[in-house]
Amino acid sequence: MSNDPSALGKQWLEQLLNLMSCPAVVEPSNPPQGDDHLSQWLEIDEQNLTPHQVNTLLGREGSTLDAIQYLANTTLNLHASQESQCAYTVELAGYRLRRQAELQEIAATVAERVRASGEAYEMPALSSAERRQVHMFFKTQPDLESFSQGREPDRRLVVRMRQEA
């Protein structure tokens, strides 16, 4: 196996898809603008998949795709040093890009709400990967901060006015 993270991810994901009886080509792709530069995007080519297979791989509200992505991150980073670990994002049928746009809209709405009220706001349940994306959004907001509280599966992201140190 290669030491290149995108090549490792491609090979691993193609093997997993074969084991799931959903053989498909996986192409490493560039993360969308604004995504963490350490992220490796792995795009599943849906061309040879049936609509049923695509829906199965996506799962309800992306739950199966999230599970595949979690498994990829856990497995591919298992024996890697802290410095060489990277985040893998698994994309299928544009789901991640659409969801990323939805999360940006939700985060912008929450930002307006917190600024208007001055009160902290607890966001609805998000996956850990989605919480990470929203945290990245709030890092660019000089007057707001976000943090997670609680334990899975009830972990929530809270947004509030930035506290002075």
107-163 pLDDT, tens digit per residue, is 999 999 999 999 999 999 898 889 988 999 999 999 999 999 999 888 999 999 998
| pTM for this model (two decimals) | 0.82
State the average pLDDT for the chain: 92
Range of the domain at 120: 99-161
CB < 8 Å & 24+ apart, contacts of 20-25: 20/57, 22/49, 22/53, 22/56, 22/57, 23/48, 24/48, 24/49
| CATH number of the CATH domain containing 32 | 3.30.300.20
1 or 127: whose pLDDT is higher? 127
Domain count for the chain: 2
Same domain, 121 and 137: yes
State whether 122 and 60 are in the same domain.
Answer: no
Q: Residues of the chain with pLDDT > 90: what percent?
A: 76
State the pLDDT at residue 127.
87
- If asked whether residues 104 and 76 sit together in one domain, one would say no
